[in-house]
Amino acid sequence: MTKTTNQTAPSLLAALPDSPEKLNGVRIKHTRIGQMMNELETLIYPESQDSILLVCGPTGVGKSTLATHIVSNALQKATEEMEQDAGVIPAVYVQAPSSGEDDFSWRLFYQRILQQLEGELSMKKTAYGIDTETGRMVRPRGATGNSLSALRTAVEKALTARQTRFLVIDEAAHIIRQTRQSRLGIQLDTLKSLANECGTQMVLVGAYDLYQLVSLSGQLARRTHVLHFERYRQDSEEDLRAFRACVQKFQNTLPDLWGEQLMPHAEALLENTLGCVGTLSCVLTRAAKLAQKDGRWSVDALRRALLTEAQRHQILEEIMDGEAAINPGLTRTMPRSHIHNNRRPSRSVA
C-alpha cells in the first residue's frame, strides 16, 4: 500500500446499513469487460467461420463473469423469440469438468451440456426430439445408451433442436490439462465438428494455457479466433484511469462503510491485484468483511485483505508467461496496401 497510515473512519459498522454481502451481487461495468462483450457479440453470428472463439486471460480478471454475462445477455435479447418458440435456447454456459482423472471426461462434459439443454421446463412441443406429452427432450433412437457416442449424438441433436447459437465452455483449460498430448488434436476436432454440425459456435474461456490450442493444427488454428482478456496495466494511463473508475464504483457501492476512503488507495490496489477486477472485488469483499468483524472500517482491514507477496508473485509469474506467449501471436500484420492507406505498419491487438 502506498498509504499505510492506520486511520479509521469514525463510524461504527453496527450502525451502518451497508453490508459486505452487497458487494456479491454487484457487477461493475468496466472498460475491459465492455470491450470483450462487444468483440464477442460481433464475432458470434450465424454462418461464422470462426467455429471456436478462445477467450484467455489471467486468473481473477473476470473471465467467468464475462462468460455468464454474455450468455444471460443473449438470452435476454432473445426473449421475444423464446416466447414464441419455447424450444429455443440460443446460448448455453457450461463448465468443463475437472474429473480428477488422468483423462478429460467427455462423458461428464456432454452430460453437463445435456443437463442445460434438457433441464428447461418450458419447451417447444413440436420440434424434433421433444416429447409432445411431457415436453421433455427425447433422445433419438440409437442414442439412448450412456456410451460416449450416444451422448455425443444426443448433444448434437439437442444443440440443433434448441437452435443454440453459441456454447460457452468455462474453465476450458481443463480439456487441455487432462488430455494426453497425442489425443488432444482428436479431442478438439470433436469440438470443432460439433460446432460445424450444429451451427453452434464454441466460446472457450480459460487461463493462458488454453492458448496452446492454436498451435495444435493449422486447420484448428484457422477456425479459432483468440481474444485476450487483459488486466489493467500500471504503465498505461488509460488503464490506470479505467481501473480507478472501477475502484470508484466499488466505493460507491458501500458508501456508508468506506465513505471516500477507497480512492486514495486505487493505485496501491492496482499494484496488489495486478490490475484484475475480479481480484479487486475479492480483496474489497474481504476488507469489508474484516471491517465488519472489527466493528469499524480501517486501512488496516484493507491491508489485511490484500494478496500476500507470495500470492501476488505466483499470479504475476503466470501472467508474465501467459502474456509473453500470447502477445507475439496476437500481433497481426496488415497487408501492404492497408499499411499505405492507414499509415500504420502493424496492429498489435494485445
Ligand X SMILES: Nc1ncnc2c1ncn2[C@@H]1O[C@H](COP(=O)(O)OP(=O)(O)OP(=O)(O)O)[C@@H](O)[C@H]1O
Does 245 interact with ligand X (rule: CB under 6 A)? no
Tell me the window of 59-67, 108-116, 217-225, 305-313 that interacts with Mg ion (CB under 5 A): 59-67
In the set 11, 64, 95, 190, which binds Mg ion (CB under 5 A)? 64
Tell me the window of 9-17, 21-29, 82-90, 234-242 that interacts with ligand X (CB under 6 A): 21-29
Among residues 62 and 87, whose Cβ is nearest to ligand X?
62
Does 98 interact with Mg ion (rule: CB under 5 A)? no
Following DSSP, what letter does each residue of 9-60 receive, concatenated?
EEEEGGG-S--GGGGTT-----HHHHHHHHHHHHH--TT-S--EEEEE--TT
DSSP 130: B
Does 48 interact with Mg ion (rule: CB under 5 A)? no
Does 273 interact with ligand X (rule: CB under 6 A)? no
Report in angstroms how near the CB of residue 145 gets to ligand X at its nearest. Answer: 34
Tell me the window of 56-64, 231-239, 320-328, 332-340 that interacts with ligand X (CB under 6 A): 56-64
Does 175 interact with ligand X (rule: CB under 6 A)? no
Q: Which long-range contacts (CB under 8 A, 24 or more apart) does 197-201 make?
A: 197/156, 197/160, 198/156, 198/159, 198/160, 198/164, 199/46, 199/47, 199/160, 199/165, 200/159, 200/164, 200/165, 200/166, 200/167, 201/44, 201/48, 201/50, 201/51, 201/52, 201/53, 201/165, 201/166, 201/167
- 3-state SS assignment for residue 348: strand
Does 35 interact with Mg ion (rule: CB under 5 A)? no
Among residues 61 and 257, whose Cβ is nearest to Mg ion?
61
Taking residues 276 to 315 in sequence order and writing x for each that binds ligand X by CB under 6 A, - otherwise, the string is -xx--xx---------------------------------
Does 32 interact with ligand X (rule: CB under 6 A)? no
Report 203-242 residues binding ligand X (CB under 6 A).
Answer: 207
Helices (H), the chain: 31-43, 63-77, 79-84, 106-118, 148-161, 173-177, 181-198, 218-222, 237-253, 255-258, 266-273, 277-294, 299-305, 309-329, 336-342
Binding-site size, ligand X (CB under 6 A): 17
Does 20 interact with ligand X (rule: CB under 6 A)? no
Does 275 interact with ligand X (rule: CB under 6 A)? no
Please report, as ranges, the residues that interact with Mg ion according to CB under 5 A.
Answer: 63-64
